[in-house]
Structure 1
Amino acid sequence: MSTYTEDQRKVTTHRLIEMKQRGEKIAMLTAYDFSMAKLIDEAGMDVILVGDSASNVMAGNMTTLPMTLDQMIYHAKSVVKGVKRALVVVDLPFGTYQGNSMEALSSAVRMMKESHAEAVKMEGGSEIRESIERVLSAGIPVMGHLGLTPQSINKFGTYAVRAKEEAEAQKLISDAKMLEEIGCFAVVLEKIPAKLAAEVASQISIPVIGIGAGGGADGQVLVMHDMLGINKGFSPRFLRRYADLASVINEAVGSYIEDVKTGDFPNEKEQY
């Protein structure tokens, strides 16, 4: 069980803003299936993100770009069934909202109706303002995402830290203020200087969730497979591993194989 179970009320977008106002940090983690979502929710997680990182950790792709809307809806439906307390946010995948606000609305409506998720996340700032506004106009909560935006990896050409130069930093601040102004309930800042993230968090009233953005953000998010040590091939500076499940699973499976091969499993008590 979680060491933090003080408040078991359902988390909403409004409650996240209240948490920021009283200085309570927001914990956010990804999940992609019913079983893990249930465990994460029972531990006391505030926000569960059904990330398009499923493309990497579930499907084995190099980038997030191959994920389809149908695939994201499948993962989101599975997660929602396991969650009682956390706010469930789902990534709209690449190609379902950029450049066409009506397609963005259609994608978001499908996600909400078919998965029963509670919000969507969209990557980008002023470039996708029209799409975000169109989604918001339908009453669908939107979480923004600035800094390193993985759906634009082919544009960047690298996963290096973003907004280190003054011009890009100023655009990020401007975009964060714009996201707040048009009605987003929160924004993720990924892989940017800690000082910049803290500055953004101090200048806008909506929660800032960081990943590789330092401790000045209002909350933190990690990919579940990374922090549990299931995915051991990814070790950026910002990642803290809280378990080594890859080794635990490998040892358990190895023991099962040995027991089957030697005839030890099943024993007399394990059969009818």
Structure 2
Amino acid sequence: MSASSSMRPVLPTDILARKGSEPLVVLTAYTTPMARIVDRHCDIALVGDSLGMVLHGLPSTLGVTMEMMILHGRAVVRGLQKAMPVIDMPFGSYEEGPQQAFRNAARLMAETGAPAVKLEGGQHMAETIAFLTKRGVPVMAHIGLTPQSVNTLGGYKVVGREGEADKVMADALAVEAAGAFSVVLEKVPEGLAGRITQRLAIPTIGIGAGVACDGQVLVVDDMLGLFTDFRPKFVKRYSELGQTADEAIAAYAAEVRARHFPGPEHAFPDVLPAKGPKS
């Protein structure tokens, strides 16, 4: 069942049931207007902590707070009717231990209305994922490149080549065994992502992980081309809205400076025009 054909909200059990069938369509959303558009076409609207970089100008996701995730989570949930909202748990909100993770996951769900959360990490987060899922918190896992760990990973690099492949596979098996209903594979070599997808009974959602995954996710601002100077290899741009916006704002600025805007059709007269006689 896809979001486009469902007449009820998509739930984690629906996502799990999609394993090996029609690919899952996932995009990030951070605002109500964008959520309404995503809702018409996607199965999942991910309120990603990428909002820190995309909307707030932060250099990484590490400065994102629970309050930011709740604010944007509420906005996205208001814009959805069918697609399932999933909220990222921000850095520092779950790493301390299962109890901390549960408190913050429960807060995210209660204050936004989202039915699921996403957190980063493989084998070392398995205990936390199991703790959450046993207590009614559906978890989307995230392995491979985990942006919240960028300082220890040494940058935004591909994860899983050569000697790292066994570890990434072990991470995937660990989050599945812990009860995650799906797992994001970020910047994982295509062959490895395919093997993980074949091995797991839960859906894999790729971002820079090749076509063999059970679904795909992109940052919506990336695929719309809202950034003119940022073009990751794994992003296909379906539009160039950044360039379009730049041209539109330049035209507006030129018309204001030339006093061509506003025109008479955009202004209000001092006296209302007389109404004609009733027929």
User: Structure 2 stretches of 5 or more lacking a match?
Assistant: 269-279
Taking the aligned partners of 1:128 and 1:19, their CA distance within structure 2 comes to 24
Taking the aligned partners of 1:121 and 1:76, their CA distance within structure 2 comes to 12
The one of 91, 95, 120 equivalent to 2:117 is 120
In the alignment, what sits opposite 1:102? 99
Cα deviation, residue 8, structure 1: 4.6
Contact kept? 1:143, 1:185, Cα under 8 Å: yes
The one of 29, 37, 40 equivalent to 2:38 is 40
RMSD: 1.4
In the alignment, what sits opposite 1:69? 66
Aligned length: 266
In the alignment, what sits opposite 1:18? 17
Taking the aligned partners of 2:31 and 2:57, their CA distance within structure 1 comes to 16
The correspondence of residues 1-272 of structure 1 with structure 2, limited to 5 A, is 5-21=4-20, 23-42=21-40, 44-166=41-163, 168-272=164-268
Contact kept? 1:141, 1:185, Cα under 8 Å: yes
Cα deviation, residue 10, structure 1: 2.4
Taking the aligned partners of 2:31 and 2:215, their CA distance within structure 1 comes to 23
Relative to the length of structure 1, the TM-score reads 0.94
Taking the aligned partners of 1:10 and 1:75, their CA distance within structure 2 comes to 19
Cα deviation, residue 131, structure 1: 1.9
Q: Deviations over 1:15-61 (max 9, x none)?
A: 2222224x20011011111111112212x111111001011111111
Contact kept? 2:4, 2:42, Cα under 8 Å: no
Cα deviation, residue 7, structure 1: 4.3
Contact kept? 2:129, 2:179, Cα under 8 Å: no
Residue 220 of structure 1: SS of its match in structure 2? strand
Taking the aligned partners of 1:34 and 1:212, their CA distance within structure 2 comes to 27
Contact kept? 1:76, 1:90, Cα under 8 Å: yes
Cα deviation, residue 140, structure 1: 1.0
Cα deviation, residue 6, structure 1: 4.2
Cα deviation, residue 233, structure 1: 2.3
Taking the aligned partners of 2:23 and 2:7, their CA distance within structure 1 comes to 16
Cα deviation, residue 102, structure 1: 1.0
Cα deviation, residue 261, structure 1: 2.0
The structure that has the greater radius of gyration is 2
Cα deviation, residue 234, structure 1: 2.0
Question: Match for 1:19: what amino acid?
Answer: R
Taking the aligned partners of 1:223 and 1:192, their CA distance within structure 2 comes to 17
Identity %: 42
Question: Match for 2:124: what amino acid?
Answer: E
Cα deviation, residue 171, structure 1: 1.9
Check 1:7–1:171 CA distance in 2 against 1; reply closer, same or farther (3 A cut): same
Contact kept? 2:185, 2:204, Cα under 8 Å: yes
Cα deviation, residue 79, structure 1: 0.7
User: Structure 1 stretches of 5 or more lacking a match?
Assistant: none
Q: Deviations over 1:215-240 (max 9, x none)?
A: 11001111111110011222222110
Q: Deviations over 1:178-205 (max 9, x none)?
A: 2122211000000011010011111111
Taking the aligned partners of 2:249 and 2:232, their CA distance within structure 1 comes to 28
